[in-house]
Amino acid sequence: MTKTRTFVWASVSVGLLLAVTPVAAHHSFAAEFDGNKPVILKGKVSKMLWSNPHGHLYIDVPGVDGKPVTWELEFGAPAALLRRGWRKTDLPLGAEVTVQGYLAKDGSPTANATTVKLSDGRSLFAGAPGAPGDPGGAAPTP
């Protein structure tokens, strides 16, 4: 093979890999969460990641043995959260929150959050557009 042909082949291969990666990294609600298993969790904020494509809230919830269990709660995209009234200051470390959502299918302490009641009494939608509980759209079918 000539150097030019090798370069073109390598460039096309890398381009295809980069084009496919974002699609493989994203998932639908029904792929990871069970719309038939709602959950309500009350705990203290241990971390909030305002990252794309989804934000992630981590809260410590008392387990059955009294020891804290850290739950990971998937939120919608940060830009959508900000449009719905969220502020980065709404979730300080240690703040008590009550989260409604849907459990992960794999049984881990993970859920897709729909509504979060903050310590100041406000309730804000935390899910992605079209997720169950979305005040602006229909819920997806599980």
At position 107, the amino acid (one-letter code) is G
> The whole model's pTM is what?
0.74
**Omega of the bond leading into 53 within 30 degrees of 0 (cis):** yes
At position 28, the amino acid (one-letter code) is S
pLDDT surpasses 70 at 134: yes
Q: What are phi and psi of 39, to 5 degrees?
A: -145, 145
Please give the CATH number for the structural domain made up of 29-125.
2.40.50.140
Q: How confident is the model at residue 6 (pLDDT cuts 50, 70, 90)?
A: low
Long-range contacts of residues 21-25, Cβ cutoff 8 Å, at least 24 apart: 25/53
The residue whose two tokens read 């079918």 is 141
Q: Which two tokens stand for residue 109?
A: 């302490």
Look at 94-103, 120-129, 133-142 and tell me which has the smallest mean pLDDT: 133-142
The residue whose two tokens read 């079209």 is 130
Domain ranges of the chain: 29-125
